[in-house]
Amino acid sequence: MNRAPHPTPARLRALPSWVINQTAMAANRLTDRALAGTSSRRQFAILSALDEYGPSSQADLGRCTGIDRSDVVTGVNTMVERGFLRQRPDAADGRRNIVTLTPEGKEHLERLGALIADAQDELLRALSPAESKMMLDLLRRVVADDQDAT
């Protein structure tokens, strides 16, 4: 017997955590597709942090982006090889590396930003600009409250 799949149960659709998770999975799929062959979401996050905060240690990059330290190391090494970042030992602590964004890295970040903006537009295409802004504002409040609680 070949039956059509059941729709998602109403109990699940009523859960904010389920809806947010489904939205996050869609966002990740769209972003990964937009960045395919150019970079990863992690690399975009590292480049964004360096652009906003300036030279940083790998540990600080991991903390401010929520990326695991070993993934930061991999991402940094890849982007150093591509000429997007420079890495040098910290003069104050030779065990740490300081990572700096290069002009090529800044250009790459700008290209990635445009690709990601298109993916965000696709994700939110069912919403008006005002609804998109409201949703983002509300989700930021949820995230900020969660961060304050921990």
- Residue by residue, pLDDT tens for the chain (150 residues) are 678 788 999 999 999 999 999 999 999 999 999 999 888 999 999 999 999 999 999 999 999 999 999 999 999 999 999 999 999 998 888 788 999 999 999 999 999 999 999 999 999 999 999 999 999 999 999 999 988 887
Is residue 20 a part of any domain in this protein? no
What's the number of domains the chain is made of?
Answer: 1
Is residue 89 a part of any domain in this protein? yes
pTM: 0.86
Is residue 123 a part of any domain in this protein? yes
Edge-to-edge order in the sheet of strand 97-101: 56-57, 97-101, 85-89
Is residue 22 a part of any domain in this protein? no
Q: What share of the chain is helix, strand, coil (3-state, %, to 5)?
A: 65, 10, 25
- The CATH number of whichever domain residue 141 belongs to comes to 1.10.10.10
Per the structure, the complete domain to which residue 52 belongs is given by 38-149
